Amino acid sequence: MNIVVCCKAVPGLVTDLKIGTDGKAIQYHGQLLAINECDEYALEEALALKRSAGGQITAISMGNIKALDILYYALAKGADKAVRVDCESQDPRVSSTVITAALRKLDFDLVLTGTQSRDTLGGQVGIAAANLLGIPFAYAVVDVEARENHTVKVRKELGGGRYAEVELMLPALLCVQTGIQPLTFVPPARRIRARQQPVASFSLADLGLRSEQLTPRGYRFVDVRAPERAHQVELLHGSPQEIAAALLTKIQESL
């Protein structure tokens, strides 16, 4: 079974957020990019499926040259190939159009990705791409079983402790939940070696996309700032013992 894993390179701490001049994107200073956590779980699930059903794993990420880091990381973890799509977009509609065009150039039975990225918290691109590709999809998947007849059986969360068992014909796209497989450690030597491997690159011209498909439309960011609080939190200060005494009083008053 050939699997493509869509992984996003996301920043850690970000500072100096401001709205871009077109009003369509947020600009910021960010530290190094890391693989988005739920996408890393998708990669682990792909590796587990490869162990049981064979096939090749291709890791794909959309972003500038800095996204290469997470693709090397995916290769070090055990992906066979890596592809970077040279496009920076925060708009889910544009991103899903681009990733769909890239997926059309790859050979796959299954596309795996996470449920959402920690930067934009949108959770849209996977399912939207599945819809554009016309393939079946499932969100919040916690278990995948490859079957003989070119299908997968998955367990997906419905919330509140309920699940659905769903059978999907391949090719299909799954957004997997964190915790689907344990995260594995990558020895530094493998990470260094992975940097020698080639990473293919698709430009937007390679994908045959027109500029109007790449233009966000219909909205503008008004502002971005620290959230308003539902109610002001009362912060306690002092020594641990003083804080503990104050907390205990509050707890006793509430019972």
d(CA 103, CA 70): 18
Interface with another protein, residue 163, by CB under 8 A: yes
Quick count: other Cβ atoms within 10 Å of Cβ 21?
8
Interface with another protein, residue 202, by CB under 8 A: no
- Here's the x/- map for another protein, 7-36, by CB under 8 A: it reads as ----x--x--x--------x----------
- Identify the CA nearest to 60 among candidates 88, 85, 37: 85
The backbone torsions φ and ψ at residue 84, rounded to the nearest 5 degrees and listed phi first, read -110, 130
List beta partners, residue 153.
Answer: 145, 167
Sole binder of another protein in the list 21, 65, 148, 159 (CB under 8 A): 159
Sole binder of another protein in the list 20, 64, 107, 247 (CB under 8 A): 247
For residue 243, the Cα-to-chain-centroid distance in whole angstroms is 39
CB 89 within 8 Å of CB 99:
no
Q: Which residues touch 83 (CB under 8 Å, ≥6 apart)?
A: 58, 59, 60, 61, 71, 102, 106, 199, 200, 201, 202
Establish how many alpha carbons lie within 13 A of residue 157's alpha carbon, considering only the half-sphere containing its beta carbon. 13
Stretch that binds another protein, among 62-70, 185-193, 201-209, 215-223 (CB under 8 A): 215-223
Kindly determine how many residues on this chain lie close enough to bind another protein according to the rule CB under 8 A.
82
d(CA 164, CA 158): 7
Interface with another protein, residue 248, by CB under 8 A: yes
| Shortest distance in whole angstroms from residue 82 CB to another protein | 25
| Shortest distance in whole angstroms from residue 70 CB to another protein | 18
| Shortest distance in whole angstroms from residue 144 CB to another protein | 13
Interface with another protein, residue 205, by CB under 8 A: no
Output the CA angle 212-214-219, nearest 5 degrees: 90
Interface with another protein, residue 102, by CB under 8 A: no
Sole binder of another protein in the list 104, 158, 193, 203 (CB under 8 A): 158
| Shortest distance in whole angstroms from residue 48 CB to another protein | 15
- Here's the x/- map for another protein, 168-197, by CB under 8 A: it reads as xx--x----xxx--xx--------------
Sole binder of another protein in the list 120, 197, 201, 213 (CB under 8 A): 120
**Tokens 């998947």, residue located:** 141
Interface with another protein, residue 78, by CB under 8 A: no
Interface with another protein, residue 218, by CB under 8 A: yes
